[in-house]
Structure 1
């Protein structure tokens, strides 16, 4: 999986990294049990501070996407990502609120918003099935 960061983006680097790793898992580019680079190695490869990578990995670990072993290193959770819970759905709703608000302010109707979501979902599932 190729990590591409936008150093000019308003989104913090650690979040970009988190989002790209989660996207890689969702699309099937990163398989359960697959090794990820060490903090030091990934930081060197993508040209960021190792604390940035460590912050990303720690959050991914906390959310159940990866496991960090002292001897084995970093791996995609071999048992898969935990299923959506009520707490996750609440968090998702919280994250969607500003996107929906902005879409309404920009006079985007509900169907157009849902079409964007549906198209992205289908794209991910298509890539996942191709892997």
Structure 2
């Protein structure tokens, strides 16, 4: 899996990294137990500060997507991923509301929004194919 960073984006780099790793897991590109690069190595590869990588990794660890071991390094969670909770659903709704609102303001119809969501969902389920 190759991470690509948009340095011109207003979206924070650590979140770009976090989201791309989660997407890689969802697509099956990253499997439970797979190693990830060390903080130092990934920072060097991407040309970003080590603190940026560390922040992304710490969030992924807190949310249950990765494990950080002293000897084995950073690996994709091998003991199961986080489950669907009320807290997650509430957070999901908070993130979807502004996207839906802006889509409506731009003239997008409900069917088009739902079709786009279904297309992206299916792409990720099938490994991005």
SS across alignment from 1:93: helix
- 2:77 aligned residue: 77
- 2:104 aligned residue: 104
Aligned equivalents of 1:94 and 1:60: distance in 2?
20
> Which residues of structure 1 form unaligned runs of 5+?
none
Superposition CA RMSD, Å: 1.1
> Which residues of structure 2 form unaligned runs of 5+?
none
Aligned equivalents of 2:64 and 2:5: distance in 1?
23
Q: TM-score, normalised by structure 2?
A: 0.96
Q: Structure 1 stretches (4+) deviating beyond 4 angstroms?
A: none
- 1:65 aligned residue: 65
- 1:86 aligned residue: 86
Structure 1 residue 80, shift from structure 2 partner: 2.5
How many residues align? The count is 129
Pairs within 5 Å for 1:11-50: 11-50=11-50
Aligned equivalents of 2:9 and 2:121: distance in 1?
24
Aligned equivalents of 2:80 and 2:102: distance in 1?
33
- 1:113 aligned residue: 113
- 2:51 aligned residue: 51
Aligned equivalents of 1:51 and 1:81: distance in 2?
25
Structure 1 residue 124, shift from structure 2 partner: 0.7
Aligned equivalents of 1:19 and 1:78: distance in 2?
19
Aligned equivalents of 2:127 and 2:30: distance in 1?
12
Structure 1 residue 127, shift from structure 2 partner: 1.4
Aligned equivalents of 1:95 and 1:62: distance in 2?
19
